[in-house]
Chains A and B, each alone.
Chain A
Amino acid sequence: MLFEFFAPRLRAFVSKPGADRSVIEDVVQETFVNIWRKAHLYDPEKASASTWIYTVARNARIDFLRKAVRPAVDLTDPVLAVDPIQNPQQQLSQAEEGVRLQRALASLPDKQREVLKLAFFADLAHAEIAKELKLPLGTVKSRIRLALGRMRMEFGEDES
């Protein structure tokens, strides 16, 4: 079920023009094996299944395609700072978070959504997106800031 739903998405996510088919296959396999390996770490309260699978796939892509390392937060780290002012009742449910996120994304102008899509799906850093779209770097930065600002607004966080 999970496999049938996500395998074509994963292949599309990893595929880039000119990418080696066997490398794509490696990333797809590695992602599913890691989903199985790390199943005990998945918390449905914190993230939707597609978000979690996205993060596992992204890490496999970095590993196999970029052959790079991506340092990440360890949530069990004793140094981890927790928000002292956060009221647990204000914490939105995962479903409510999802609804607000969809609403924010749906309300974005096409040009801003395009930049987000290129960032997540074409594996391009914002400077590379500027080259790809033949836009000044400042234009791409301002589209990113407007899009993320729109999301902050949806979640009731002030602009700063």
Chain B
Amino acid sequence: MIRHHPSDELMLDYAAGSLGEASSLALATHLTLCPQCRAANQRLDAVGGNFFAHPVEGTPGQETLNSVMARISSEQAVPRAVAHPLHPALPQPLRLALGCDLDAVPWKRLGIDAYQCVISTRDKIATARLLRIPAGRPVPVHTHCGNELTLVLRGAFSDLTGNYTPGDFQEADDRLVHQPHAEPAEDCVCLAVTEAPLQFKSWAARIVQPFLGI
């Protein structure tokens, strides 16, 4: 039973297409595990479709049509079905990003008794990684200067904000000082997305740019 879901503003950014790759990975993974948010996401897509259905002035453009027709006729339609393993452990967006399933994750030691695997993405603002915290152990102290998203995949963790089990989604900003602990029953595996503070400058520049008209 999933009790912790992504916030409305994160769901909106995802549906509108403005959420970065690493955070979108956490959203897509949660949506795979949560039918309720999947329905909400479909509805947000329909909001986009609704704004899209309003009339707009302008000509279709014959040249555009010609180019599209030329591209289509030079292509063969090949419906590509994705081949899935028989009993995968991780949701497909995560398997795709990792290039493997949970049993083959190339874990690297993090601190004394925790493990991590950084997931390579093209995201310049945020970093996605898998964390594995041994049963009953605290999550290693980490500084997050920006927002942090955590999605439980195996086991469970708790902190002062509650108890998080598989599928649960936590959003923390830099004001939350928390010390999560893995529950004692089994190791906790989660997907963690953190904003990389070193990239902050270029990120700020990208936001300011459109308003300066550069």
Contact = CB atoms under 8 A, between A and B. Distances in A.
B92 interface: yes
Interface stretch (B107-115, B134-142, B206-214): B206-214
A131 B19 CA distance: 16
A58 B213 contact: no
A141 B6 CA distance: 13
A79 B90 contact: yes
Contacts of B65: 3, 7
B47 interface: yes
Interface residues of B, number: 79
Contacts of A53: 49, 52
Interface string A39-68: 110000011101111110111011000111
B49 A7 contact: no
A101 B47 contact: yes
Given A70-B17, A77-B91, A144-B8, A7 B52 contact: no
B143 interface: no
B174 to A, nearest CB: 13
A81 B17 contact: no
Nearest to A118: B16
A110 interface: no
B63 to A, nearest CB: 9
Nearest to B94: A71
A71 B17 contact: no
Contact of B50 (A7, A17, A50): A50
Nearest to A74: B92
B98 to A, nearest CB: 11
Nearest to A72: B28
A120 B170 CA distance: 25
Contact of B9 (A51, A61, A144): A144
B161 interface: no
B68 A29 contact: yes
A98 B46 contact: yes
Interface string B18-52: 11110011011101111110111111111111111
**Shortest 7 CB-CB contacts between residues of A and residues of B:** A51-B49, A8-B58, A83-B35, A7-B60, A125-B18, A77-B92, A71-B28
